[in-house]
Amino acid sequence: GQQVMQIPQYQHVQEGEDFTTYCNSSTTLSNIQWYKQRPGGHPVFLIQLVKSGEVKKQKRLTFQFGEAKKNSSLHITATQTTDVGTYFCARTDSWGKLQFGAGTQVVVTP
């Protein structure tokens, strides 16, 4: 089935810097969800985007859904060590089931 592609696969960030991770699809998405998984932990829901061009913020995290609803991005400002983990985007397939991307693994250097 259609999958979402996440780039980059790995992201090394200096503490205090900003970075962006991307989620791309070849087909139009009905919605996109973002999850975070800390090392040794389990995925935790962060947010869902539904509308074209939608932008949602959670403190230092900014989530965006593309105008064509084929891509999404997560931008983190002033990265902290607590941001370490793997960030997954997930799309809903034709039957309503979530399909996860491979994730972006974020490493923060103090």
Partner 1 sequence: ETGVTQTPRHLVMGMTNKKSLKCEQHLGHNAMYWYKQSAKKPLELMFVYNFKEQTENNSVPSRFSPECPNSSHLFLHLHTLQPEDSALYLCASSQGDRAGDTQYFGPGTRLTVL
CA dist 63 and 34 (Å) reads 9
Q: Give me 91's structure tokens.
A: 């799309």
**Contact region with partner 1 (CB under 8 A), list: 13-21, 37-45, 58-66, 75-83:** 37-45
> What torsion, rounded to 10 degrees, do the Cα atoms 40, 43, 46, 52 define?
130
Q: Does 97 bind partner 1 (CB under 8 A)?
A: yes
Choice between 55 and 78, CB closer to partner 1? 55
Q: Does 30 bind partner 1 (CB under 8 A)?
A: yes
Choice between 61 and 77, CB closer to partner 1? 61
Q: How many CA atoms lie within 13 A of 2 on its CB side?
A: 16
Site residues, partner 1 (CB under 8 A): 3, 30-31, 33, 41-45, 48, 50, 88, 92, 95-103
